[in-house]
Amino acid sequence: MKYYFRSITEELFQLHDKLRKQWPGLSRIAVAIYDNETDILHTFIKSSPDEELLNHYSVQLKDVPSLVELANSGECRIMQDLMVLQQNDSVHSKVISQHFKSSYTEPFYVAGDLLGFVFYDADECGYFTDELIDHLQTYSRLIESLIVSEILPIKTLVALMNVTQEITNLRDSETGKHLIRMAHYMELIAIELAEEYGFTDEQIEYIWCYAPLHDIGKIAISDSILLKPGRHTAEETKIMRTHVVEGLKMVDRMLQNFSFQQFHHIDILKDIIGSHHEWYDGSGYPNGLKGDEIPIVGRIAAVADVFDALISNRVYRAGWSFDEVVDYLKAGKGKQFDPKCVDALIRNEDKIKEINNNFQDIYNV
């Protein structure tokens, strides 16, 4: 299944086309989104002749001092000769300097917090005149408005769900760090499968944002069942499994009550919640879907969720080793898991270990 909707990327291409009629040397516009909790800057949307340029790229902001300086100052940056970037060690600096000659960058914020950067690149040195910059600043406000109109409601929805979760004292495996790690793992898998399933950076950002809500329906499950340390009875298991449907109901209520119905990418969230407990062989729940009947984001979430649950320490047990978890996932290929999703995750062993180390829960086990 592929996700089709009127995207911000399409809007950006239209804006870029208009700009190039007057300034044909303006060869690229790109936007990166910043996540304050993880200090990660993600590529989000871009308009350029080379669609593979810095595709699905992310970096910690602290590793890009020049952008940290811009974020702190709120000022714009003009670089009339990008040859100076070739001295930098970062991947994106070298790539940009190889493809473009000059650039103009603006940070943008929401309620005083950094949300990201807008980048304009040209194929001529000294291209960014005062006249062009004045014009681009107007376009930047429009681009930022488009992004805020998409990202801010998502952040609000996630925050509402998180507050509800905290108020109801939901405390099983859904720790904050688990949710961050799972979002990372889903992102890794989605990037690996991007070409086959047509995932854009914009869609991968939505997957990243929505991943923490995968089990939000557990709020509706009583603590006596949710937090039971031993094995559930058949009746308790039946009740426990209702959290999927309850989660979808919660999303629908949130969408209605807070006027989020216009989300054109809400199917990504619903598919994550509604299908990440389906099994590839059809023996999962709630609908017994099989193989490609299961939405691809649900298949991705299933692998990411189980991987993190097994490898992570819990108050009642130590986490499994990486090799033990990989063996479990491999054994479940074609049964519980989509083989492509399993392979996509375990191909990223170094990144997995880095994520696991960076976002650790503290337990005495």
Say how many CA atoms lie within 13 Å of 203 toward its Cβ.
21
pLDDT at 363: 44
Q: Give 229's contacts (C-beta < 8 A, 6+ positions apart).
A: 316
Q: Which run of H or of E encompasses 110?
A: strand 102-110
pLDDT in tens, the chain (365 residues): 555 445 777 888 888 888 999 999 999 999 999 988 788 898 888 886 565 677 778 888 998 888 999 999 999 999 999 888 777 767 777 788 888 999 999 999 988 899 999 999 999 999 999 999 999 999 999 888 888 877 777 777 777 766 666 655 444 445 668 888 999 999 999 999 999 998 988 899 899 988 988 988 888 888 888 878 778 899 999 999 999 999 999 888 877 776 655 666 888 999 999 999 999 999 999 999 999 999 999 999 999 999 998 998 776 678 899 999 999 999 999 999 999 999 999 999 999 988 888 887 654 43
Q: How high is the pLDDT of residue 51?
A: 58
The catalytic residue among 21, 46, 177, 218 is 218
The answer to whether the Cα torsion of 165, 167, 171, 175 is positive or negative is positive
Global confidence as pTM: 0.78
Q: Determine the pLDDT at residue 85.
A: 78
How many other CB atoms are there within 10 angstroms of residue 21's CB atom? Answer: 7
Q: Are 43 and 55 in contact (CB under 8 A)?
A: yes
Both tokens of 179, joined, read 């949710």
Active site residue 18: no
Note the pLDDT of residue 328: 97
Residue 277 is predicted with a pLDDT of 97
